[in-house]
Amino acid sequence: MSTIDVSQNDSTCSEYPRYINREQSLLEFNRRVLAQAKNSDIPLLERVKYLCISSSNMDEFFEVRLASLLEIINQPGARTRPDDMAPQDAIEMLSKTAHEIVQMQYNTLNHILIPELQKQGIRFLRRTHWNDTQRAWIKNYFIESLHPVLSAVGLDPSHPFPRVLNKSLNFIVSLEGEDAFGRSNGLAIVPVPRSLPRIIKLPPEATEGDNDFVFLSSILHSHVSLMFPGMTVTGCYQFRVTRNTNLFIDEEEVDDIMSALRGELSSRGYGGAIRLEVADNCPPHMVDYLLDRFNLSESALYQVHGPVNLHRLSAVPDMAKRPDLQFEPFSPKLLSKKPVKKSFKLFTRQKKNDSLFARIATQDVLLHHPYEAFSPVIEFLREAASDANVLAIRMTLYRTGEDSEIIKALMKAAQNGKEVTAVVELRARFDEDNNIIQATRLQDAGVHVVYGVVGYKTHAKMILVVRRENDRIKYYTHMGTGNYHHITTRFYSDFGLLTASQAIGRDAAKVFQQLTSLGETKDLEVLLQSPFTLMSGMLERIAREADNARQGKPARIIAKMNGLEEQQIIDALYEASQAGVRIDLIVRGICSLRPGVPGLSENITVTSIIGRFLEHHRIYYFENSSGKPELFCSSADWMRRNLQSRVETCFPILDPNVFQQVYTEGLAIYLQDNVGAWKLQNDGSYQLATPVGRPAYSAQDYLVEKYRQ
């Protein structure tokens, strides 16, 4: 990052701005993901997956983050938060970095991954290298499987440039000669339906290799002339446009948010164009034509050497069937049946009459995903659905996935006469359609469905079961840092707490009452909640550590999260650092705090862990010199949106054994990592930690081995 004049936004003597641009930090995260694709210590097909993830991340960056900046570029006085840049300046900076990363992606594919895959017998055959047998099979494949599905659009006044769907594969074709009606069109567009595979594996009868692949784009290039009989194809070039996918709903003005969302979702694929990807051999005049069609400037152009959607390469690892080139399979640990003293050992339900409620009443149960199975959460709901003593079940749903066992359990509970309330967040980005479907299913089954609070996404992760025991009401609660999604729990690292703490249960009941009745929630006993007490609760604790440091008392903050961008939190951490508090932050993605700046943040370190699993915990530890350190888990990052415009919960870890497990497995071992750890520098760049002078240590590998044993 170049030196920037900081006279307006930094009172320190640093040559760098006080805050790192949020979107620039997001791109730096994607650069770290891409670095995994070049890491020879990682199995080869897993490296292909990392390349695909980096491509998908870049898509979302353009669809959401850059799109949001472009929306405010003409607003008077608009600035980015927290770094206070003019939108146009930020866009220019981000465009430069994005072009660098895209170039790195294709260099990684063409010069590293493809040659190494070829050494392992996994080949991507170029059409110039096809032999006669392959050529004949591919031609037949085009005629039988592709041509009937493809529809070419010749451009003329009655066939205008077609609507191009967001991120769809298309080809622009230049033609010579007259069409069937005696006209010279010159250009045509060939949209490729998403139902068609982008990579085709050649069968044994067509090739000698076990894993020979051809790109659909190569097949179409070779045979596109069959779509234009009587005319001569002089050029065929793939392109893809990325569009703005932000939804625009005035929640204060609509009567039915579900109906309004349905209307918006139907047009999401045709938002304003943000980026144009084109084959790098496309002639300049055709590139200019496409830019004009999509009303884009040259800075939005990305000319690439390879498939325009690298994410489609994610099919290769499964198609190749080479487990030796992937991570060793890992199955989440089931829970041990009997309670034991060690906090790591939990239980497996082996008999139908085993009661989860009896176990949770005895002690808190911590689940560490993906190292431990998600099934106990489903069993918790299933047991509640069939337990005659359970009166009510309440749950928040942000992301659930299709064919969710969670949804089935809630429906069964309602059918069994339980009072079931589901707070479904319809606006969970890119899951809106599925959430609408699931909400409708729940309603049809008799579940009371509400959609949270207008203007505030409900992001909290809570299940509350109300049970009658000995003529008294008792609460059982699940609080989590991650979603109730059976797929993401396999590769997102999260904590889930099953507890019979009545203080947590009473607080959860108040939050649910607030979400359904919209009444004010007062005097929560132990939970912190945004947008009300979570921000102030964190600021108070940071300030307390600073005061303790000034008084010479022990002071320490360790926090783990996905993103850190809220300016008030950052300023409080800067002040605590200056007071002498040792602060270790483990921030996977966006981090706008600048560590290691003399006089500002020299006592702060920031580590980003990139590994096999997506780090997703939110954990907050405060030393609290009274001898009673505090440890919280949360659904909320230290981001402005989480703290001010979402409904979030932050729950304390009260059980001593669980406290030790969360501290050790969620924080301490990550600070020892020197394999997947990247250290944020004060210039905004990241450096990969190296095990110089000590053994290599990976926190994720440690946890895999621990739970495997």
CA distance 564 to 570: 8
**Of 553, 554, 557, nearest to 575 (Cα)?**
557
How distant is the alpha carbon of residue 256 from its chain centre? 28
Q: Tokens for 379, please give them.
A: 């069993």
Query: Phi, psi at residue 621, to the nearest 5°?
Result: -115, 135
Per-residue buried b or exposed e for 283-308, using 16+ beta carbons within 10 Å of the residue's own CB: eeebbebbbebbebeeebbbbbebbb
CA distance 498 to 82: 37
Q: Is 211 annotated as a binding residue?
A: no
CA distance 87 to 66: 10
Count of residues for the chain?
709
On the question of a cis peptide bond just before residue 203, with omega within 30 degrees of 0, the verdict is no
Q: What is the DSSP string of 150-219?
A: ---EE-BTTBPPPPPPTT-EEEEEEEES--TTS----EEEEEE-TTS-SEEEPPGGG-SSSEEEEEHHHH
Please say whether the beta carbons of 617 and 562 come within 8 A: no
CA distance 72 to 86: 10
How distant is the alpha carbon of residue 383 from its chain centre? 31
Q: Where are the beta strands (DSSP E) in 438-487?
A: 448-450, 457-458, 462-469, 472-480
**Of 476, 602, 121, 182, nearest to 316 (Cα)?**
121
Parallel, antiparallel or unpaired: strands 365-369 and 390-397: unpaired
Q: Tokens for 340, please give them.
A: 């034991």
Q: Count CB neighbours of 560 within 10 A.
A: 26
Which residue in the block uniquely carries the two structure tokens 């303790």? 548
Angle between helices 405-415 and 375-386 (to 10 degrees): 10
SS3 348: coil
The alpha-helical segments, DSSP class H, found in 229-346 are 257-265, 284-293, 316-320
Q: Is 492 annotated as a binding residue?
A: yes
Q: Is 475 annotated as a binding residue?
A: no
CA distance 90 to 230: 50
**Among the options 221, 368, 369, 459, which is catalytic?**
459
Residue 443 Cα distances to 11, 400, 415, 422, angstroms: 55, 16, 11, 9
Please say whether the beta carbons of 573 and 587 come within 8 A: no
Type of residue at 28:
E
CA distance 650 to 240: 42
Q: Count CB neighbours of 333 within 10 A.
A: 20
CA distance 221 to 223: 6
459 a catalytic residue: yes
Please say whether the beta carbons of 579 and 550 come within 8 A: yes
| Contact residues for 433 (Cβ-Cβ < 8 A; gap 6+) | 265
CA distance 646 to 425: 11
The alpha-helical segments, DSSP class H, found in 61-183 are 67-72, 87-108, 114-119, 132-141
Q: Is 312 annotated as a binding residue?
A: no
SS3 256: coil
What residue numbers does the annotated binding site cover?
57, 399, 429, 492, 588, 616
What residue numbers does the annotated binding site for Mg(2+) cover?
399, 429
Question: Which residues are part of the catalytic machinery?
Answer: 459
